[in-house]
Amino acid sequence: MSYRMEKDTLGEVKVPSDKWWGAQTQRSLENFKIGSEKMPKEVVEAFTILKEATAAANLRLGNIEKEKGEVIQDVCLELREQGTYEHFPLVVWQTGSGTQSNMNMNEVVAYRGNEVLSEKGSELKIHPNDDVNRSQSSNDTFPTAMHIAALKDVKERLLPALQRLKKTVEEKSQLFDNVIKIGRTHLQDATPLTLGQEISGWAHMLKKSEEMIEQSSEQLRNLAIGGTAVGTGINAHPKFGDYTAEEISRITGETFRSSENKFHALTSHDEIVYVHGAVKGLAADLMKIANDVRWLASGPRSGIGEITIPANEPGSSIMPGKVNPTQSEALTMTVSQVFGNDAAIGFAASQGNFELNVFKPVIIYNFLQSVRLLSDAMDSFNEKCMVGIEVNEEIIEKHVKNSLMLVTALNPHIGYEKAAAIAKTAFQKNSTLKETAVELGYLTEEQFDEYINLEKMVRPTE
């Protein structure tokens, strides 16, 4: 491999000649050989948006030569459109402010920008700090990139996947609205409801999660840019943060604003904690839905078996013909990871000292992983399981007829005590509710048939 020499304030460093990064990126590669987790591509893309916007803001303020500012913008767009991510190799486990990832972007943009200037015959040279990072600090750029990446991923990845799953669940709820089944509370028999009503609970969970995620995500529109090193805005024009936020809004099509208090924006990540809390709420609902599906589909002959799920692959390497609820298992495993991510994000956000939180990379890494995992898992669960759920009407009817809790409908007519006696006696004698009620002399057969009306039991009645 061939190398070239790059230098920074600490001296010269060898850099692979086919890479666009500079000395500070190389030092980070050599000093932080920790884990395999790379800075997410979403953060890199957010940085290209940010650096394009800061160049535009500096041009508006007359803080940078026109040719330099335009080339920086062009290079950022090129990086984003061509997905040139091989020049961004840094791991998550680096400086807690994300300084080295900020400098990685500065160095790559400067290197590629100087190539473009040279091709144009210009003698200008773009400096990674003086030009690409002008009016900025890692302390305000990295949290700004965090918010850009987080909001884009929520809007473009998580919510669409959630909406696709919600649509399928709503359709299943309508399809099965007249299928009366036995309800269950505490894993014990309860009064009847329709399968559609049961599934409508899932649909409303997804609807409420969607609303909470959308509402909390509004907080991500606040950006740290303009605060520079400690929140005072040193070396930045008073309008720089506002102008940059306007340019980011133009590039992304999403509304962003410079935070009204930069001291908060640098040292606190309560906004990301808040949004991830809503994401965790979705994860909790998904755990419940996935578990309900695998309970209801359990069996097929020794379980509940009221629904069937698609047979996507053999379920066992030793038991022929076995079908397992693998999509539920995959979804619940991602939920487990999201719960862990939430704990990590909450702890990391509580750390840092004075003017700066220094756990930023791990916060955004875990946030984006949660969004990616849940988005992919919801699509997989939707396409490979939910759309193929069917009803086992024979089993559902059997469970309804055998349930002792139908006796609840007798309460208004004979009272709780007599109804309880019927249920207990029927259970002890392994007889039907009807037989027992008549035997005990509490009801005639005709009265029993009139009062035990399944259609009336699944709706409120006057």
Cα torsion 404, 407, 408, 411: sign:
negative
Both tokens of residue 336?
A: 């487990």
Which pair of tokens denotes residue 120?
Answer: 């144009």
Task: Choose, from 17, 28, 138, 186, the residue flagged as catalytic.
Answer: 186
What's the rounded Cα separation, in Å, for the pair 262 and 5?
A: 38
Evaluate whether 142 touches 229 at the Cβ level (below 8 Å).
Answer: no
Tokens of 372: 């990616």
| Cβ proximity of 52 and 247 under 8 Å | yes
Collapse the DSSP code of 292 into the 3-class scheme (helix H, G, I; strand E, B; otherwise coil) and give the result.
Answer: helix
Encoded tokens for 64 = 């940078």
118 has catalytic annotation: no
Report the candidate in 219, 7, 119 with the shortest Cα–Cα distance to residue 15: 7
Dihedral, CA atoms, 436, 440, 446, 452, nearest 10 degrees?
A: -50
Question: How far is Cα 76 from Cα 54, in angstroms, rounded to an integer?
Answer: 11
Catalytic site residue from 316, 317, 370, 375: 316
Bridge partners (DSSP) of residue 258 are 223
Active site residue 127: no
Among 226, 233, 190, residue whose Cα is nearest residue 50: 226
Q: Using alpha carbons only, give the angle 399, 400, 403 rounded to the nearest 5 degrees.
A: 80
> What is the radius of gyration, based on Cα positions, of the chain?
30
10 Å CB burial of residue 245 (0-12, 13-18, 19+) is buried
Reduced to 3 states (helix: H, G, I; strand: E, B; else coil), residue 297 is: coil
Count Cβ atoms below 10 Å from residue 406 Cβ, excluding itself. Answer: 25
| Rounded distance between C-alpha atoms, residue 257 and residue 250, angstroms | 12
Report the C-alpha gap between 263 and 242 in whole angstroms. 16
**346-352-354-355 Cα dihedral, nearest 10 degrees:** -90
Residues marked as catalytic: 186, 316
